[in-house]
Amino acid sequence: MMLRHAMDVNRCGCGLRLGLVEITRVEDYQGPGLKSTGMFPDFRPEMWQAQKDWLVPAFYDPQEDRIRTSIHSWLVRTPHHTILIDSCIGNHKERPVDPRFHMRNEPWIERLARAGAKPEDIDFVMCTHFHADHVGWNTRLENGRWVPSFPNAKYLFTKKEFARWDDRRPDYVHRESERFIFADSVLPVVEAGQMELVDEGYTLDDAMTVEAAYGHTPGHIKIRLRTDGGHALFCGDVIHHPIQLPYPKVYSVFDDDPVQALQTRLDVLDNCAAHGILLLPTHFAEPYLCRIDSVGTAQEPSYMPIWQR
Ligand SMILES: [Zn+2]
């Protein structure tokens, strides 16, 4: 399998090439995350202790009992198009329930430029789901109005995830933690005529296919990339943190449906392990991406990362 790292692996760069496709990471945040059990209620000290030779300190800080996390986009350049997968937190967004996300002012657009793309270069935006850390840079504030950050892009959303968040629906169920997200990061894209609703199975450039990965949210998707030089899976929040590899039953408090999320997680990990697929989550800290080795049993599934540095 052809896998080449670009020269700089830094805050905005984790460039690699699969066949004719280039993939670069564009970071919006990296550092401490939530307390372990604040994020993963089943997280136990014996878990990190059993894995500490690789888990500490890169992914977990035992002193503070905090997970370490990254929030990043994946910039994908095929021979035909420039595609952004997940758009992080964004700037100037009112997110009163999460101080890390609230009213930020970060140079993410500059990091995108260092990764080789200007906002007007983006042809497609794909969001694995509509949580605040995956749609934020869909829009930016201009003269007091939210406008699409990528003026030439089509934003490809799935009908199921869009319906879950569309607060104009009469049956929409309001959640305080999700206030403002649809209004400031999704609706302006609709109003600008830049949204295209697609179904699972939609394929872009004969290379990137939208697939169901429900559970974390009802319409969560994963995006499968097939190239002559290898096969990758952008899995969004199917897996938040590497502790969920040896212990896939560890669920996140942000999973809408933890039972379905677990089944999706196991399906993804089995699929990656069986076919040597490169896994590209949204929140793994450095080195960000891995292949998967299955080390468990049918009764007790367990996996280990094979880091791609
Ligand atoms: Zn997320």
What's the gap in Å between 192 CA and the centre of ligand 1? 25
Strand ranges across the sheet with 303-307 = 203-204, 208-212, 221-227, 230-236, 278-281, 290-294, 303-307
134 C-alpha to ligand 1 centroid (Å): 6
Structure tokens at 186: 């999704």
How does pLDDT run across 207-238, given as a tens digit for each residue? 999 999 999 999 999 999 999 999 999 999 99
Whether the per-residue pLDDT at 6 is higher than 80: the answer is: no
Helix (H, G, I), strand (E, B), or coil: what is residue 109?
Answer: helix
Q: What's the rounded mean pLDDT across residues 13-18? A: 76
Strands 154-158, 124-126: pairing kind: parallel
Cα(34) to ligand 1 centroid in Å equals 12
pLDDT digit string, tens, across residues 39-80: 999 999 999 999 999 999 999 999 999 999 999 999 999 999
CA of 95 from ligand 1 middle (Å) equals 14
> Does the pLDDT of residue 15 top 90, yes or no?
no
d(CA 53, ligand 1 centre) in Å = 26
Could you tell me whether strands 124-126 and 82-85 are parallel, antiparallel, or unpaired per DSSP bridges?
A: parallel
Give 88 Cα–ligand 1 centroid separation in angstroms: 8
pLDDT in tens, 182-199: 999 999 999 999 999 999
Centre of ligand 1 to C-alpha 209, Å, is 20
Q: Label residue 11 by pLDDT band (50, 70, 90).
A: very low
Place 177 in a pLDDT band, splitting at 50, 70 and 90: confident
Note the pLDDT tens digit of each residue in 234-290. 999 999 999 999 999 999 999 999 999 999 999 999 999 999 999 999 999 999 999
Question: SS3 for 107?
Answer: coil
State the average pLDDT for the chain: 94
Concatenate the DSSP letters of all residues of 245-302 into one string.
Answer: TT-TT---TT-SSHHHHHHHHHHHHHHHHHHTPEEEESS--TT--EEEEE-S-SSS--
DSSP string, 114-181: HTT--GGG--EEE-S--SHHHHGGGEEEETTEEEESSTT-EEEEEHHHHHHH-TTSTT----GGGTTH
Q: Residue 173's pLDDT band (boundaries 50, 70, 90)?
A: confident
Predicted pLDDT at 190: 98
Distance 16 CA to ligand 1 centre (A): 22
Bridge partners for 283 per DSSP = none
Is the model more confident about 177 or about 253?
Answer: 253
| All domains in the chain, ordered by first residue | 4-307 (3.60.15.10)
- Between the CA of 133 and the centroid of ligand 1 the distance, in Å, is 5
Q: What is the pLDDT of residue 14?
A: 53
Neighbour count for residue 42 (Cβ, 10 Å): 13
How far apart (Å, rounded) are the C-alpha atoms in residues 271 and 293? Answer: 10
When pLDDT is averaged across residues 164-176 and rounded to a whole number, the result is 90
pLDDT given for residue 3 in this prediction: 36
Give the whole-number percent of the chain exceeding pLDDT 90. Answer: 90
126: CB partners within 8 A, 6+ apart: 83, 84, 85, 86, 155, 156, 208, 210, 221, 223
Give the residue among 91, 141, 131, 135 at the shortest CA–CA distance from 111: 91
Q: What residues flank ion ligand 1 with Cβ within 5 A?
A: 133, 237
**What's the rounded mean pLDDT across residues 159-175?**
93
- Going from the Cα of 281 to the center of ligand 1, the distance in angstroms, rounded, reads 9
